[in-house]
Structure 1
Amino acid sequence: MAPHGRHWLDLRPNGLCQHNGLYHIFHQYTPAQDLGLNKSWGHYVTRDWKHFADLGTLMCPDSEIDKDGCYSGSGFSHNGILHLFYTGNILHDGDFDYINEGRGHYTNTLQSADGIHFSDKKVLLRNEDYPDGLSCHVRDPKVSDIDGRLYMVIGARTRDSRGCALVYECSRDNLEDLTFRQVIRTPEGFGYMWECPVLFKLDQQVFLLCCPQGVAQDGYKYENVYQNGVFRLTPDADGSWQAADFQELDHGFDFYAPQSFRDEQGREILIGWMGLPDAEYGNPETAEGWTHSLTMPRQLSVKNGRICQYPIQEILDLRTESQTV
């Protein structure tokens, strides 16, 4: 999905969800009149994955809780209300490295009954609310339902530069009521930062989708500047999860920050960002006033213990000819 007639910077997917039958595709972008400013959220909706309505700007960095960018986040429909969660980026003035000092990464929320008109923004977690030992890089909250329990997972970087994910449990009566449960990590360390995490369950197995940064190339694996993929989560005796067996979702370039969600049919649908941060190469479409796009939606499944992806049926319905090889 590419934009029409406006400048866009960073079309990574956010807030993917279905609410009252309508699919919502939020995404990061910068309107043409605000080029050079910080990330906002745009908003598409569709009922059939064939016809899309562009609802324009949902929110922009206009308050003290997100003044330097409305960063990535998620959407979750619960009890007739669409809840959005996102990271508010705040850069403090001073001589800081903005990794371990000088940055606020707040977990913020807003709600809507109709999915169109939203409440004011509200802070749920500030830097001081996160566990000890973390850097200022704590971002990208995502809420999921795992066996009837609601979890928020947030990507993080420790002060000694090890990637991990924070897990909170949300009260089913009030999604703003959060209880910290654990930090998911690998025993040996895997990169310095885990971005864009998603918890989901398929075939009786819980997975953590995320984007580890700082993983060294290993043959044909991990060739991009930053990676994307899934960890298989195994429970300890106390019920906490440990991450292992990382599987890359896409070995190609320009695929990053994928987000999945469970729709009303029970499908786990994934959309990625056809772009990469900090890539050495440019994008020719910038000459036309836009950059990057969203990937085709894919349905996730498990085969022989591994995550598989296939275009959703609505996309397959668009085919007019077929050839079997």
Structure 2
Amino acid sequence: MNDTRYPCPACGAPADLSAGCSGCRRAPDPIAAEVVRLSREVAELEPQVERARRAYTELAGRLSTVSGRRAELAAVVRAGLAASVVARPAPLVGPPPSIGPGPGVAADSRPGAAETSTRTVQGLLFVLGGLLLGTAAVVFTAVAWAAVGVAGRALILAAFTALALGVPLLAVRRGLRGTAETFAAVGLLLVVLDGYAAWSVDLAGVADWPGSRYAALVGGASAAVAVAYGRWSGLTGPWFAALVAAQPALPLLAAEAGLGAAGWALVLLGVASLNLAVLAALRGRGGAAQLVGRVLAGTGHVAAL
């Protein structure tokens, strides 16, 4: 079939793209020729579309039939399984077998396990905070002390000491034992600083006393306060503070006597005996308390030798 021939749209006579219309001599019309060609193509495609529509309708019907049959058979299978489960006796209920690491393998040795516990980190932060507060108290007492009057000094230190020793009592009631231990340590440090402050302002003429005697008195008084505070608050730190504060008391008292080697040996032996007595008292408690007692007892014994 020659696609270049088409009927003239003006007169209907045969026309050609090369010569135009043979009747009215109209020039060649490519658009009219394309319309004729597309009409022939549409006539060819319509039967194909009809055949495809019929095939689709047939396949859709088959799909619907197969899906319905499948649903019916699946329902039969489910009903059979339900009947068998009801007829079967119930198994014994018991704890599932534990699947854990084998012998000798730590439970927290898996990759990504926490390197330390939350309580350890919390305690470390409390210790660091207490060190910062203690450092600030020492710096204030040693540097900024001269810029305040005697009454102001006494009032400031007394207020801070009372506050630092009062906070642990409230913290213990709320279950914040780490906070209580930290503030108790700072408060007992302030007790020692109170003694230094009293000597620096010559409170009640204590500046005329020998320095070693006054230091021994401050150490003994601080130890007594720590013991009383530990019994009252139920905390552990004050007992350690009392033991540490009591260590230099006896040697400081003996410093004025001009003792010889034998005398100092007896003094240090007395300190070691005190530490051993504390260790014997803490023997049943174990843990950190017994460790501190052993360290101090060993230190006093070595010094006595």
Structure 1 length as normaliser, TM-score?
0.23
Higher relative CO (CA 8 A, sep ≥ 6), structure 1 or 2?
1
* Greater radius of gyration (CA): 2
Higher relative helix content: 2
Higher relative strand content: 1
